[in-house]
Amino acid sequence: MTAATAGPLAPGRWRALALICAGVVCAMTSWFSATAILPDLVRDWDLGASAQAWLTNAVQLGFVAGAVMASLVNLPDIVALPRLMAVSALVAALANAVLLLEPGAGMAIAARALTGAALAGVYPPAIKLMATWFTRGRGLALGFLIGALTLGSSMPHLLRALTEGLDWRAVVIGTTAATGLAAALFGLGLTEGPHGFGRATFDPRQSLAVLRDRGVMLANLGYFGHMWELYAMWAWFLAFATAAEAEIIPFPTGSASMLTFLVVASGAVGCVLAGALSDRIGRCATTAWMMGLSGASALAIGFAFDGPGWLLALVALVWGITVVADSAQFSAAVTELAKPQLVGTSVTLQLGIGFALTVVAIQIMPWVAQAMGGWRWAFLVLVPGPVIGAGAMLWLRRLPEAAQLAGGRR
């Protein structure tokens, strides 16, 4: 009997999931808070190209450092999850608020790194916390959870679109308040579910055991290909849309910020749909299909750069829906394939390495755009990610380990 089908349904599981998702939406608003106001910061702080990239990449690096350190000491498996998430969200809120002090590029980048490190204590533990409430329907529940992450990540762009013409500090204040609210939700409203995984003891060698597991590592390889594409697209789509806005009059959504919000937020729909689909046809099949569609969108978006506007919006929304839709299923696969006492460590290590790849992808995108004479064809460099990821998941689908996924649905 697999983790996807074993055990009774936990009473209160949907209330717990709703609270977890609400907290994740609020906490993740701090991830792209600086990215959404980057044009304002460039103007007010006179930022160079390198500093611009690092204001986004510092969050990624901070998250990587936090996730890897947490996995090395097995933190998500030895500390009560709601407490860990509440403290981490509070630290993220305080670090995000540092932008209000206008500390200059160096201190702002350091604060962004601390924000990312703190969010490593929110997102991976949230996945494990959700899994303590769901044995059956875990793929759908994770779809809702990653949808919440996606929606939260898009919110700074919505705040910037709605406060256009106002001071950029409104975005920072709003995202800081939301992240503080997340800390309260995690600390006061949540408990672990009845389907716990047990506690681990501190042993760094357990991380090496995770890396030797064939099924887990193929799921990780699929995730790494997915991550090569995802955050670089999210981080630089505003730059792409801003460049396209000069070519398309009138712009289909009124502003580049609004289109960016819609594209990123649309991924929440994809996460829920892919979650339901993966519980029916399997994790491997769902992730391979989604990466095929997202890779095709990355290939096609350049052709729609100069319009017509409806075509640009259509391709962008298809990409927004599919680029993150499969994200939850890689984590669901790890919760089903990893040893039960190492689920938290396995998920955190997967995320840490995956986010390390995003640092490289985000950093090279401006260079690629410059080499290609603009943003039109820059996203072509992301296409190999979903191609490799889809191949890894199709390989996993053929192995005996895949029988543990989604109640035997591969």
3-state percent breakdown (helix, strand, coil) of the chain, nearest 5: 80, 0, 20
Residue 395: is its pLDDT beyond 50?
A: yes
In a domain, 87, yes or no: yes
- pTM equals 0.79
Q: What percent of the chain has pLDDT over 70?
A: 89
Is there a domain that residue 360 lies in? yes
State residue 31 phi and psi, 5-degree precision: -65, -55
- The answer to whether the CB of 218 falls within 8 A of the CB of 385 is no
Measured between alpha carbons, how far is 410 from 403 in angstroms, rounded to an integer?
7
Span 262-272, mean pLDDT?
90
Tell me the pLDDT tens digit for each residue of 195-207: 765 554 445 555 5
Overall average pLDDT of the 321-336 stretch: 84
Q: What is the mean pLDDT of residues 98-102?
A: 92
Cα 75 to chain center, whole Å?
A: 20
Is the separation of the CB atoms in 406 and 3 below 8 Å?
Answer: no
Length of the chain: 410
- Detail the DSSP E strand segments found in 127-227: none
Residue 8 resides in a domain: no
Residue 208: band (very low, low, confident or very high) from pLDDT cuts 50, 70, 90: low
pLDDT at 24 over 50: yes
Instruction: Express each pLDDT in 128-174 by its tens digit.
Output: 888 888 877 776 787 788 889 889 999 999 998 888 778 899 999 99
- Would you say residue 60 lies in a domain? yes
More confident residue, 326 or 339: 326
CA distance 171 to 389: 35
Q: Which two tokens stand for residue 244?
A: 């396209």
Range of the domain at 325: 14-191+203-408
284-303 pLDDT, tens digit per residue, is 889 999 999 999 999 999 99
Rounded Cα distance between 35 and 51, Å, is 11
Instruction: Let me know how many helices (H) and strands (E) the chain has, helices first.
Output: 18, 0
For residue 349, give both structure tokens. Answer: 């290590």
pLDDT of residue 341: 64
Does residue 4 sit within a domain?
A: no
Residue 283 counted as domain residue = yes
- Going by C-alpha positions, the residue among 128, 124, 148, 187 that lies closest to residue 29 is 148
198 half-sphere exposure, CB direction, 13 A CA radius: 7
pLDDT score for 234: 92
Write the CB contacts of 280 (distance below 8 Å, at least 6 apart in sequence).
Answer: 409
Q: Give the pLDDT confidence score for residue 191 in this predicted structure.
A: 82
Residue 207 lies in a domain: yes
Number of structural domains found in the chain: 1
Tokens (6 digits) for 26: 């609020």
Mean pLDDT lowest among 33-37, 171-175, 230-234, 244-248: 244-248
The verdict on residue 2 lying in a domain is no
CATH of the domain at 35: 1.20.1250.20
Give 51-65 pLDDT, tens digit per residue: 888 888 899 899 888
pLDDT at 5 over 50: no
